[in-house]
Amino acid sequence: MNPANRYALTFPGTPGTQAPQDVVVVARTDAKGPGGHPVYEDDTGIVRAEISDAGEVRMLASGGQQSPHMPVHAHPLP
């Protein structure tokens, strides 16, 4: 199965508020993550994730002080 070129990652809103969920679109890069799967990132390069063929997501820190949150859902885009 070929991995998608883009995914929409949905993150939970701020806990304890009525804030909507955040959706970030990430595109495939030439890099491979620690699990050997493709790395995807948003246009800013701040949101980075390794996504397997099965849709499993591993968030990757893009800076030294970052503690990335796990998305609720990763949806492949056409």
14-72 pLDDT, tens digit each = 777 777 888 999 999 999 999 999 999 999 999 999 999 888 999 998 876 666 667 77
pLDDT of amino acid 71: 76
Residue 75 in this model has a pLDDT that exceeds 90: yes
pLDDT of amino acid 66: 67
pLDDT of amino acid 22: 87
Question: Where exactly are the structural domains of the chain?
Answer: 21-77
Buried b (16+ CB within 10 A) or exposed e, 50-77: bbeeeeebbbbeeeeeeebeebeebeee
pTM of the prediction? 0.83
CB-hemisphere CA count at 13 Å for 67?
0
Residue 34 to residues 38, 53, 59, 77, Cα–Cα distance (Å)? 9, 14, 11, 23
Contact 76, 7 (CB under 8 A): yes
pLDDT of amino acid 62: 80
